[in-house]
Amino acid sequence: MTLRVRAVLFDLDGTLIDSAPDLAGAGNDMRVARGLPVLPLSHFRPMVGSGARGMVGRALQVQPGDAEFEALRDEFLRRYESRMTRETRLFDAMQPVLDTLRRQALPWGIVTNKATRFSEPLVRALGLIDEAATLVCGDTTPHAKPHPAPLLEAARRIGVDAGDCVYVGDDLRDVQAGRAAGMLTIAAAWGYLGEGDHIGEWGAHHVVESPGELLNLLALA
């Protein structure tokens, strides 16, 4: 089965880019500052989609509601901001996808829950800011994913109907937001996926194991 769409939207972390090394690095920097041993990337990776909350929880076993959580979250964000382009890269297999979309003149954009403070400089540093048709961040609209507002805003900016878009993401909230916006949803199995329900239970229209499979699904390979 192939799909025909007028625009492709991607989640950022875990779908388009591999940011786990820098996010985990910020968490480990906090541990080192407290005399604690460094933890492996695999310890942090599943929680990347949970942002600072998940990273602080994994680094120091502190949760929202704990007395020290707000201060530690702010520290994490400062540390992450200082190193967020050190090791983060576009997933290798995503470059051929973006190259194909460009050759086909099919617009693509980014819809992320990451705040503009981090997303815009990161996307710029990776050389994607001018290529993406739009960048909608977690603070662009009044609601973040799983609310459909960010996806609807992305479609509006590109100038296409939401129903003519496909949204690709590696988190349950991506699928929930995409379906609520009336978009075709594709779950990216190469991403971080979290520790909740299995990807096959998210309700995505399609699950793809690799970016190459995504191109086949979009009839662009």
| 164 catalytically annotated | no
| 92 catalytically annotated | no
| Sheet containing 134-136, strands listed edge to edge, beginning at the edge strand earlier in sequence | 134-136, 108-111, 7-10, 165-169, 184-188, 206-208
Work out the number of other CB atoms within 10 angstroms of the CB of residue 200: 10
What token pair was written down for 139?
């603070």
- Work out the angle at residue 121's Cα, subtended by the Cα atoms of residues 178 and 58, and round it to the nearest 5 degrees: 70
Rounded distance, CA 26 to CA 44, Å?
A: 11
List C-alpha distances in Å: 64 to 22, 30, 61, 157, 200: 22, 17, 10, 34, 29
Picking from 152, 220, 154, the residue whose alpha carbon sits closest to that of residue 12 is 154
> Which DSSP string corresponds to 92-134?
TTHHHHHHHHHHTT--EEEE-SS-HHHHHHHHHHTT-TTTSSE
Identified catalytic residue from 11, 18, 22, 170:
11
Identified catalytic residue from 13, 18, 22, 29:
13
- Residues annotated catalytic, as ranges: 11, 13
